[in-house]
Amino acid sequence: MHDTWYVFPRKLPPSKRHPQGRTVFYYNCWIGPNKRSTAWSTGCTTRKAAIAHVRDLERDGKLIPEHSPDAPLKYRTFADLSRGFWDPGSEYCRGQRAFGKPVTEAYAKAAKGIVKKHLSPTFGRLLLENITPDDVERFGLRLFADGKGLSAKRVNNIISILRTMLGHAHRKRCLSWNPKEKEIVRAVAGDSKKRGHLTLQEFRDLFDTANVEKAWKGHTLYRLVNLTAAVCGLRQGEVLALQAADVHDDFLNVDKAWITKTRSLGPTKAKRATPVVPLPEWLRAELQPLVDMSRGGFVFSTTQGRKPTSGNRARLALFDALDAIEVHDYSERNIDFHSWRHYFNSYARSAGVADTMIRLVTGHNSEAMTERYTSLTVDQLSPVAAMQQAMDPNGGDA
């Protein structure tokens, strides 16, 4: 008998290899007052060898296997959980990579900021077992209503990070309730301001080639960044990531995005069912000089393709151009670079393009759509191509 553990023999049933059965030594531990752990096999057939084996486990801190329900909690407090949680080598991030859902550097950086600014001050010292769904909801409501100016979307993003972390704790049996369970933590509902977009006439005035000097001060590059986003329904990062090899005669290959925070290429925000986005002939002709100057690199570049231009400069150039064509209420109308996706959606719908087709092009896809349309060709997107052809600000029926 030992103070904290002891070994004992067990006769195993007969097997093909051991017809008479054999004796193997097991051990268990005291894990509380008058409470013993589950028994675990040492794999040894003599008491002496079994005792030596258990002593080695005790020395290495592995007396109770990690997979055992008797194992001590991996995380006790939220501070334990958050320590290094979003580092590339953490258990969570390694697991995400293994299951094909890697955490991007930009997302991890943003999550670390949220943990430091919002989560640790509130939950840091709390035992995980004492955190309840009501605590999480009250935390979200406090952020939304305490005058800090956080929008509902921002609050829900913060709660999403918290739920991800607590979900990992739940999988490790350090939290009794599952934060991912539907409706267990409700989202904050707020009056988010609807994104505005330009009228057809404003679009034409903005991009008419006769207005390049007046509206864009001769900055063809910034004009085409915005025009490509409008006509192809792309996010800013997807436009900036375009390289010469992505520009084909009648389509763009959109399978990556430029991540401004890390100044590197990364995945698109949503997994696209197809990377193929139709490119109308008139826009292809306008892009050709930039493709030629890119030397095989980034199309929208001021460094001959070595790196993409600044997304913020393209955005500010848009505001200057709107002022130049007498559209001064863009701020009140909530018009920004991202408005081009809304313009594309609205124009496509008015042109009779099916919603499913629009979502395929813009990347607003469900997993089912991704599976079904992975090999879609530009010919199958002909309704979108016809609509884009009519968007030519210097002609067409737009």
DSSP for residue 251: E
pTM strictly above 0.75: no
Domain presence at residue 181: no
Domain presence at residue 15: yes
Residues 38 and 95 reside in one and the same domain: no
State how many domains the chain has.
3
Query: Where does the pLDDT of residue 194 fall: very low under 50, low under 70, confident under 90, or very high at 90 and above?
Result: low
Query: Where does the pLDDT of residue 351 fall: very low under 50, low under 70, confident under 90, or very high at 90 and above?
Result: confident
Alpha helices in the chain (DSSP H): 47-59, 78-82, 91-98, 105-114, 120-123, 133-145, 152-171, 200-207, 212-216, 220-232, 236-240, 281-293, 311-324, 339-350, 355-362, 367-372, 382-389
* pLDDT tens-digit readout, 297-333: 999 999 999 999 999 999 999 999 999 999 999 988 8
Residue 174 and residue 128 in contact, taking contact as beta carbons nearer than 8 Å: yes
Reduced to 3 states (helix: H, G, I; strand: E, B; else coil), residue 288 is helix
**Secondary-structure breakdown of the chain: helix, strand, coil percentages, each rounded to the nearest 5:** 45, 10, 45
- Please give the pLDDT value at position 164: 95
Residues 254 and 385 reside in one and the same domain: yes
* Max Cα-Cα span within the chain: 96
Residues 33 and 148 reside in one and the same domain: no
Answer positive or negative: Cα dihedral of 319, 325, 329, 333.
Answer: negative
Residues 289 and 142 reside in one and the same domain: no
Residues 139 and 225 reside in one and the same domain: no
**Structural domain of 385:** 200-389
Residues 52 and 112 reside in one and the same domain: no
Residue-averaged pLDDT of the chain: 86
- In this predicted structure, the answer to whether residue 30 has a pLDDT above a threshold of 50 is yes
Domain presence at residue 149: yes
Residues 364 and 252 reside in one and the same domain: yes
